[in-house]
């Protein structure tokens, strides 16, 4: 019986260090291992004994691509613990900051990390030689997102202006208005992006996933909502650990997360989109339909289209917030320490990010739990590969390996975040 | 959008909290007070898209970064990046997958490379979580600053 192994020692175009090993015997996959060897980072342990006010800045250091997500989930969890209510103008600015992070992260993934997979380039630099207009558009789009984070977060990477209760300082209305012109360009560029990715050849592949994301009564989810799925889950954030568990697997320095009752699940753009299509703006819904998407998307390779739709949404939402800007009375709400526990979930570009903190009477962190989106997707990525291999056995080894790597990149995995992950190997015995 | 810079830019790249990775930043700080007013000296983390913005439109760019090629710590490497790609794998200290070498090749692919781009690489010894440079790197930082200051002075004495 013919057997083959796909092995990628270092996966490219993902954040952090990971590899992939797939072993086949005939048409059967005998082993799929997404190996995460990025060293563990012990952030949850670093947080013990620190003051609650330090959590947003410490956890922002977990990731250079989605620091805002860590700041937002930590703030919401601690604010719940301390009974802090956030006024509407501060809430709106938090959504604006999140729009900036989605735009920069999605533009980077769509143009520089994932498009080369579908267009047959080893990397974005080789793609840029043949597609300079698109790559320039992607870089400028990313910069438009950076500009929001820079203004409101204080700097592009690891922003420093977020605090429990709000912001240290809120820029003047005129500074926000100065972002509008470039955001109008970015909105058109996002539409152009959707039209472009709709023409890219994308593999057919669908599975019946359990999608999990936040759902809010009237908004596309960033900061708030209930945790819902397409298989009947509908819980408040504080019940997260009753339904989800993390487990250790020998081949990975990242924990694998699973639904206690049903196992693997899917977080990220496809999940958000499929559970919240009705919450997208009319323009984003229209653009998605024009690109050939339905109201639910079960093909993870189409994640490149969904990210582009979410980028359009984020540009529109950012412009809306800037137009309706209202200066808060105070940049933040004071928080008083007390013995408490708080839970927070927000939607990082890669998916739902869960934080839980227990605080003592002085406001020191007794313990902390952080579940990043990539560790929630690891089981689903491995299962995708399990299904992808038999369907593509006729492919040449190098093409098959390419397809498998692209399937991992569908999830825009952030290995640095999860290690607490990419190199690929397909072996033929 | 920032206006196009019309003169030489010196870019010090690195992270001063990661030992010798701070070499580029240290060179920039030494040069800040030594170069003519029309020369811009800036510090960068090495994130590629920011570098593309930083040197856009500049006729002449000198970039300094720490390097890890296996040479003796403090060794000074000098590359003319306007002609050739940097040796692959020598600049591993850049943030994320899109760092100095990638930014240079992306700019070349997009025809946005500055006409003159000199890259100094200072061989580092340690890149651990700590502030401060190792002695050999400290000496190389001073030497690179002297060489760049000399280059700039020569260029301004003989305007093109």
Instruction: List all residues 6 or more positions away from A306 whose beta carbon is below 8 Å from its beta carbon.
Output: A269, A270, A273, A288, A293, A297
pLDDT at A428: 46
User: What tokens appear for B73 in the block?
Assistant: 């710590």
Assigned superfamily of A3-427: Cytochrome-c3 Hydrogenase, chain B (1.10.645.10)
Q: What percent of chain A has pLDDT over 90?
A: 71
CA distance A322 to chain B (A): 19
Judge: B97–A142 Cβ closer than 8 Å, yes or no.
Answer: no
What tens digit of pLDDT does each residue of A38-93 get? 656 678 888 999 999 999 999 988 877 789 999 999 999 999 999 999 999 999 99
Among A346, A349, A422, residue whose Cα is nearest residue A385: A422
Q: What is the pTM of this model?
A: 0.89
Q: Is the dihedral of CA A116, A121, A122, A127 positive or negative?
A: negative
Judge: B95–A157 Cβ closer than 8 Å, yes or no.
Answer: yes
Cα–Cα distances in angstroms (integers) from residue A52 to residues A84, A85, A346, in the given order: 13, 16, 18
**C-alpha to C-alpha distance for A55 and A176, rounded to whole angstroms:** 27
Looking at the DSSP bridge assignments, the partners of residue A32 are: A22
**C-alpha to C-alpha distance for A130 and B135, rounded to whole angstroms:** 46
What tens digit of pLDDT does each residue of A355-409 get? 999 999 999 999 999 999 988 998 999 999 988 887 777 788 788 888 888 898 9
Q: What percent of chain A has pLDDT over 70?
A: 93
pLDDT at B95: 41
CB burial of B78-94 (b: ≥16 within 10 Å; e: otherwise) equals: ebebbeeebeeebbebb
Domain ranges of chain A: 3-427
Query: Cα-flanking dihedrals φ and ψ of residue B56, to 5°?
Result: -60, 125
Judge: A129–B109 Cβ closer than 8 Å, yes or no.
Answer: yes
Judge: A13–B110 Cβ closer than 8 Å, yes or no.
Answer: no
Span B90-114, mean pLDDT?
A: 78
CA-based radius of gyration for chain A? 21
Q: Is the ipTM of this complex over 0.85?
A: no
Q: Which residue out of A114, A128, A137 would a mutagenesis test of the B interface target, given it has the greatest number of B Cβ atoms within 10 Å?
A: A128
Does B47 contact A at CB distance below 8 Å? yes
pLDDT surpasses 80 at B89: no
What tens digit of pLDDT does each residue of B111-151 get? 999 999 999 999 999 888 788 999 999 999 999 999 999 98
- B48-55 vs B100-109: helix axis angle to the nearest 10? 60
Does B43 contact A at CB distance below 8 Å? no
Q: Pairing state of beta strands A351-359 and A365-371?
A: antiparallel
Q: Which residue out of B47, B92, B108, B109 would a mutagenesis test of the A interface target, given it has the greatest number of A Cβ atoms within 10 Å?
A: B109
What tens digit of pLDDT does each residue of A94-121 get? 999 999 999 999 999 999 889 999 999 9
CA distance A121 to chain B (A): 13
For residue A216, name the pLDDT band (cuts at 50, 70, 90): very high
pLDDT at B93: 43
Q: How many beta-carbon pairs under 8 angstroms link A with B?
A: 42
User: What tokens appear for A51 in the block?
Assistant: 């003051």
Nearest CA in chain A to B46: A157
User: What tokens appear for B38 in the block?
Assistant: 């029309």
**C-alpha to C-alpha distance for A309 and A275, rounded to whole angstroms:** 14
For residue B45, name the pLDDT band (cuts at 50, 70, 90): confident
Partners of residue A14 in chain B, C-beta under 8 Å: 97
């Amino acid at each position: 019986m013919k057997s083959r192994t796909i092995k990628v020692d270092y996966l490219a175009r993902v954040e952090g260090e990971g590899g992939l090993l797939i072993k086949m015997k005939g048409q059967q996959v005998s082993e799929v291992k997404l190996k995460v060897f990025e060293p563990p980072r012990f952030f949850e342990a670093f947080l013990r004994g620190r003051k609650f006010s330090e959590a947003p800045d410490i956890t922002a250091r977990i990731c250079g691509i989605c620091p805002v997500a860590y700041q937002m989930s930590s703030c919401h969890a601690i604010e719940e613990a301390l009974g802090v209510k956030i006024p509407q103008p501060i809430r709106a600015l938090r959504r604006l900051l999140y729009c900036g992070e989605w735009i920069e992260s999605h533009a980077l993934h769509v143009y520089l990390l994932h498009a080369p997979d579908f267009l047959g380039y080893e990397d974005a630099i080789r793609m840029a030689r043949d597609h300079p207009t698109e790559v320039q558009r992607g870089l400028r789009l990313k910069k438009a997102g950076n500009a929001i984070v820079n203004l409101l977060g204080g700097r592009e990477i690891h922003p420093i202006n977020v605090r429990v209760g709000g912001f240290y300082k809120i820029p003047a209305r005129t500074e926000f208005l100065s972002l509008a012109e470039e955001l109008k360009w970015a909105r058109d560029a996002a539409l152009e992006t959707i039209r472009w990715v709709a023409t890219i050849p994308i593999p057919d592949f669908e599975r019946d996933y359990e999608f999990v994301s936040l759902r809010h009564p009237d908004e596309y989810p960033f900061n708030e909502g209930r945790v819902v799925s397409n298989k009947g889950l509908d819980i408040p954030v504080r019940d997260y650990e009753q339904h989800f568990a993390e487990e250790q697997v020998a081949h990975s320095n990242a924990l694998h997360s699973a639904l206690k009752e049903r196992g693997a699940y899917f977080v990220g753009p496809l999940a958000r989109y499929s559970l919240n299509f009705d919450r997208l703006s009319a323009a984003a819904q229209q653009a998605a339909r024009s690109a050939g998407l339905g109201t639910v998307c079960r093909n993870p390779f189409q994640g490149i289209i969904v990210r582009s739709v979410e980028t359009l949404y984020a540009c529109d939402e950012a412009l809306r917030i800037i137009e309706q800007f209202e200066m808060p009375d105070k940049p933040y709400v004071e928080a008083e320490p007390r013995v408490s526990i708080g839970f927070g979930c927000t939607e990082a570009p890669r998916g739902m990010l869960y934080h839980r903190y227990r605080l003592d009477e002085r406001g020191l962190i007794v313990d902390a739990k952080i579940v990043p989106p990539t560790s929630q997707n690891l089981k689903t990525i491995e299962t995708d590969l399990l299904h992808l291999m038999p369907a593509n056995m006729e492919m040449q080894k190098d093409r098959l390996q390419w397809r498998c790597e692209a399937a991992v990149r569908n999830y825009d995995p952030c290995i640095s975040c999860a290690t607490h992950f990419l190199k690929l190997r397909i072996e033929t015995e | 959008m920032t206006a196009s810079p019309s003169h030489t830019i010196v870019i010090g790249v690195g992270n001063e909290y990661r030992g010798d990775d701070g070499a580029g930043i240290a060179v920039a700080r030494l040069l800040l007070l030594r170069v003519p007013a029309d020369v811009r000296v800036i510090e960068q983390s090495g994130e590629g898209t920011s570098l593309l913005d930083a040197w856009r439109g500049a006729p002449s760019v000198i970039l300094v970064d720490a390097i890890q090629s296996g040479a003796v710590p403090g060794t000074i490497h000098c590359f003319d990046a306007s002609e050739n790609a940097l040796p692959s794998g020598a600049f591993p200290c850049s943030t994320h997958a899109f760092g100095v070498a990638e930014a240079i090749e992306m700019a070349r692919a997009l025809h946005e490379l500055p006409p003159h781009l000199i890259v100094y690489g200072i061989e580092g010894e340690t890149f651990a979580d700590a502030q401060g440079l190792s002695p050999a790197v400290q000496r190389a930082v001073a030497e690179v600053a002297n060489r760049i200051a000399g280059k700039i002075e020569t260029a301004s004495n003989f305007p093109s």
